[in-house]
Chain A
Amino acid sequence: MIPSLLGISLVLFTVLAMAPGDPFEELATNPAVPPEVRAALRAKFGLDDPVWTRYLHWLVAMIHGDWGFSFVSRMDVDKLILQRLPVTLIVIGSSQIIAMLVALPVGVLAATRPYSLFDQVANTLAFVGFSLPTFFTGLLFILVFSIQLDWLPFVYRANIDATGWQFYWEHIKQSIMPVMVLGLFQGASLVRFVRSSVLDVIKLDYVTTARSKGIGERKVITKHVVRNALIPVVTLVALQLPIVFGGAIVTEQIFRVPGIGSLLISSMLSNDTPVVMAVTFVIACLVVFFNLLADIIYGWLDPRISYR
Chain B
Amino acid sequence: MNEHDLHGLIGKVKAGKMSRRGFVQRMMAVGIAAPFATQLLVHSGVAMAQAKDTYKPTKAGGGGPLKVLWWQGPTLLNPHFAVGTKDQDGSRLFYEPLAAWDAEGNLKAKLAAVIPTRENGGLSADGKSVTWKLKQNVKWHDGKPFTADDAIFNWEYAKDPATASVTIGSYQDVMVEKVDQYTIVVKFAKPTPFWADAYVGTRGMLIPKHLFAEYIGAKSRDAPTNLKPVGTGPYMFKDFKPGDMVMGVINPNYHQANRPYFDSIEMKGGGDAVSAARAVLQTGEFDFAWNMQVEDEILSRLEKGGKGRVQVTPGGNIEHMQLNTTDPWTEVDGERSSIKTKHPTLSDPAVRQAIALIIDNKSIEQHIYGRTGPATRDFLNNPERYRSKANPIEFNVDKASDLLEKAGWKKGSDGIRAKDGKKLKFVYQTSINQPRQKTQAIIKQAAQKAGIDMELKSVTASVFFSSDVANPDTYTKFYCDLQMYTTTMSQPDPQVFMNQFTSWEVSTKENKWQGRNITRWRNEEYDKIFRASENELDPVKRTALFIKMNDMAVQNQVVLGVVMRPTVSALGTKLNAQISGWDNNTSDLSDWFKEA
Bound: A21/B81 CA distance, A: 19
B271–A254 touching, CB < 8 Å: yes
B76–A72 touching, CB < 8 Å: yes
Residues of A within 8 A of B275 (CB): 142, 154, 254
Q: How far is the CB of B90 from chain A (nearest CB, A)?
A: 11
Q: How far is the CB of B301 from chain A (nearest CB, A)?
A: 12
Residues of A within 8 A of B203 (CB): 32
A74–B81 touching, CB < 8 Å: yes
A73–B516 touching, CB < 8 Å: no
Residues of B within 8 A of A38 (CB): 467
B283–A146 touching, CB < 8 Å: yes
Q: How far is the CB of A287 from chain B (nearest CB, A)?
A: 24
A20–B468 touching, CB < 8 Å: yes
Contact check: which of A31, A75, A266 meets B72 at CB < 8 Å?
A266
B165–A75 touching, CB < 8 Å: no
B467–A158 touching, CB < 8 Å: no
Interface check B175, CB cutoff 8 A: no
Instruction: Output the nearest chain A residue to B497 by Cβ-Cβ distance.
Output: A31
B255-295 interface with A by 8 A CB criterion: 264, 266, 268-272, 275, 278-279, 282-283, 285-286
Interface check A263, CB cutoff 8 A: yes
Bound: A107/B283 CA distance, A: 38
B83–A27 touching, CB < 8 Å: yes
A258–B465 touching, CB < 8 Å: no
Bound: A83/B239 CA distance, A: 12
Q: Majority SS of interface residues in chain B?
A: loop
A142-175 interface with B by 8 A CB criterion: 142, 146-147, 150, 153-155, 157-159, 161
Interface check B25, CB cutoff 8 A: no
Bound: A20/B460 CA distance, A: 10
Residues of A within 8 A of B283 (CB): 146-147, 150, 153-154
Q: How far is the CB of B250 from chain A (nearest CB, A)?
A: 13
Given A73-B243, A161-B65, are A36 and B161 also a contact pair (CB < 8 Å)?
yes
Interface check B541, CB cutoff 8 A: no
Interface check B503, CB cutoff 8 A: no
B497-535 interface with A by 8 A CB criterion: 497, 499, 512, 514, 516
B164–A41 touching, CB < 8 Å: yes
Q: How far is the CB of A178 from chain B (nearest CB, A)?
A: 12
Residues of B within 8 A of A27 (CB): 83, 166
Residues of A within 8 A of B270 (CB): 253, 256, 258, 262, 266
Residues of A within 8 A of B69 (CB): 155
Bound: A27/B164 CA distance, A: 12
B153-193 interface with A by 8 A CB criterion: 161-162, 164-166, 168-170, 172
Residues of B within 8 A of A158 (CB): 241, 244-245
Q: How far is the CB of B467 from chain A (nearest CB, A)?
A: 4
B241–A155 touching, CB < 8 Å: no
Bound: A73/B462 CA distance, A: 20
Digitize A15-40: 1 where CB-to-B-CB distance is under 8 Å, 0 elsewhere: 00000111011111111111111101
Residues of A within 8 A of B172 (CB): 34
Digitize A243-267: 1 where CB-to-B-CB distance is under 8 Å, 0 elsewhere: 0000000000110101000110010
Residues of A within 8 A of B468 (CB): 20-21
B462–A20 touching, CB < 8 Å: yes
Contact check: which of A37, A155, A253 meets B286 at CB < 8 Å?
A155
Instruction: Output the nearest chain B residue to A139 by Cβ-Cβ distance.
Output: B275
Bound: A35/B76 CA distance, A: 21
A73–B271 touching, CB < 8 Å: no
Given A27-B83, A155-B279, A266-B72, are A44 and B164 also a contact pair (CB < 8 Å)?
yes
Bound: A161/B238 CA distance, A: 12
B37-82 interface with A by 8 A CB criterion: 65, 69, 72-73, 75-76, 78, 81
Q: How far is the CB of A255 from chain B (nearest CB, A)?
A: 8
A263–B243 touching, CB < 8 Å: yes
Interface check B407, CB cutoff 8 A: no
Residues of A within 8 A of B465 (CB): 25, 28-29
Bound: A33/B170 CA distance, A: 8
Given A32-B496, A73-B243, are A25 and B516 also a contact pair (CB < 8 Å)?
no
B164–A37 touching, CB < 8 Å: yes
Instruction: Output the nearest chain B residue to A19 by Cβ-Cβ distance.
Output: B462
Interface check A98, CB cutoff 8 A: no
Q: How far is the CB of A16 from chain B (nearest CB, A)?
A: 13
Max chain A CB contacts within 10 Å: which of B170, B172, B271, B272?
B271
Contact check: which of A33, A74, A254, A258 meets B245 at CB < 8 Å?
A258
Bound: A83/B244 CA distance, A: 10
Contact check: which of B84, B166, B247 meets A37 at CB < 8 Å?
B166
Interface check B33, CB cutoff 8 A: no
Interface check B226, CB cutoff 8 A: yes
Bound: A256/B67 CA distance, A: 15
Interface check A288, CB cutoff 8 A: no
Given A32-B203, A154-B275, A157-B268, are A147 and B166 also a contact pair (CB < 8 Å)?
no
Residues of A within 8 A of B491 (CB): 32
Interface check B125, CB cutoff 8 A: no
Interface check A80, CB cutoff 8 A: yes
B168–A37 touching, CB < 8 Å: yes
Interface check B227, CB cutoff 8 A: yes
Q: How far is the CB of A223 from chain B (nearest CB, A)?
A: 47
Instruction: Output the nearest chain A residue to B272 by Cβ-Cβ distance.
Output: A253
A161–B466 touching, CB < 8 Å: no
Residues of B within 8 A of A270 (CB): 75
Contact check: which of A25, A37, A40, A256 meets B271 at CB < 8 Å?
A256
A157–B266 touching, CB < 8 Å: yes
Interface check B341, CB cutoff 8 A: no
Digitize B446-488: 1 where CB-to-A-CB distance is under 8 Å, 0 elsewhere: 0000000000000010110111100100000000000000001
Q: How far is the CB of A268 from chain B (nearest CB, A)?
A: 11
Q: How far is the CB of A78 from chain B (nearest CB, A)?
A: 13
Residues of A within 8 A of B271 (CB): 155, 253-254, 256
Instruction: Output the nearest chain A residue to B286 by Cβ-Cβ distance.
Output: A155
Interface check B221, CB cutoff 8 A: yes
Interface check B349, CB cutoff 8 A: no
A72–B75 touching, CB < 8 Å: yes
Interface check B490, CB cutoff 8 A: yes
B516–A155 touching, CB < 8 Å: no
B286–A73 touching, CB < 8 Å: no
Q: How far is the CB of A167 from chain B (nearest CB, A)?
A: 15
Digitize A49-81: 1 where CB-to-B-CB distance is under 8 Å, 0 elsewhere: 000000000000000000001101111000010
Residues of B within 8 A of A74 (CB): 76, 78, 81, 221, 226
A153–B285 touching, CB < 8 Å: yes
Bound: A112/B169 CA distance, A: 75
A40–B221 touching, CB < 8 Å: no
A154–B285 touching, CB < 8 Å: yes
Residues of B within 8 A of A150 (CB): 283
Digitize B551-562: 1 where CB-to-A-CB distance is under 8 Å, 0 elsewhere: 000000000000
Between A and B, 20 residue pairs with Cβ closer than 8 Å are: A21-B462, A21-B468, A25-B465, A27-B83, A30-B490, A31-B516, A32-B170, A32-B490, A34-B169, A37-B169, A38-B467, A40-B162, A73-B242, A73-B243, A74-B76, A74-B226, A157-B268, A158-B244, A253-B270, A254-B275
Which A-B residue pairs are the 8 nearest by beta carbons? A258-B244, A73-B242, A28-B467, A256-B270, A256-B271, A73-B75, A21-B462, A40-B164
Given A155-B279, A254-B271; 5 other pairs, CB 8 A cutoff: A21-B463, A32-B170, A146-B283, A262-B243, A270-B75
